[in-house]
Amino acid sequence: MASAGDAASDGSENHWFRSGDLSLAAYLVRPSGVGAGGGSRIGSNGGVPGVVICHGFPTGVDGGANSVATFPELAFRIATEMGWSVMVPYLRGMPGSEGDFSLDGWRDDVVAAATDLRNQDGVDRVWLVGFGSGAALAICAAAVDEGVSGVGALAAPADWSDWAANPRRLLLHARDAGLIDMTEAPSDFGRWSGALRDLSAERSVSRLAPRDLLLVHGGDDEIVPSLDARVVASAHGAATLRIIAGAGHHLRHDPRAIAILLGWLDRQRRHHM
pLDDT at 177: 87
pLDDT surpasses 50 at 170 = yes
Q: What pLDDT is stored for residue 3 in this prediction?
A: 37
Q: What local confidence, expressed as pLDDT, does residue 167 receive? A: 95
pLDDT tens digits along 14-58: 999 999 999 999 999 999 742 333 334 455 456 999 999 999 998
Residue pair 269/251 in contact (Cβ under 8 Å)? The answer is: no
pLDDT on residue 63: 41
For residue 182, is pLDDT > 70? no
Q: Would you mind telling me the total number of residues written for the chain in this entry?
A: 273
Backbone torsions φ then ψ of 244, nearest 5 degrees? -95, 115
CA distance 263 to 259: 6
Nearest to 36 by CA among 265, 271, 272: 265
pLDDT score recorded for residue 253? 93
Strand order in the sheet with 85-90: 12-19, 22-29, 85-90, 48-54, 123-131, 148-154, 212-218, 240-244
The pLDDT score that the predictor gives to residue 65 is 44
pLDDT tens string 198-236: 999 999 999 999 999 999 999 999 999 999 999 999 999
- For residue 69, what pLDDT is reported? 81
Count of C-beta atoms within a 10 Å radius of residue 222? 9
pLDDT cut 90: percent of the chain above it: 79
19 φ/ψ angles, rounded to the nearest 5 degrees: -130, 100
Residue ranges per domain, the chain?
A: 12-272
Gap between the Cα atoms of 116 and 99, Å rounded: 18
* Distance in angstroms (rounded) separating the CA atoms of residues 78 and 30: 9
Over residues 111-136, mean pLDDT: 97
Q: Per-residue pLDDT for 5 more than 50?
A: no
The answer to whether 67 and 102 have CB atoms below 8 angstroms apart is no
pLDDT over threshold 80, residue 130:
yes
CA distance 17 to 91: 11
Q: In the chain, how long is the greatest CA-to-CA distance?
A: 56
CA–CA distance, 216 with 226 (Å, rounded to integer): 9
Report residue 61's pLDDT band, with 50, 70 and 90 as the boundaries.
very low
Average pLDDT for the chain: 89
Does residue 184 surpass a pLDDT of 50?
yes
CATH of span 12-272: 3.40.50.1820
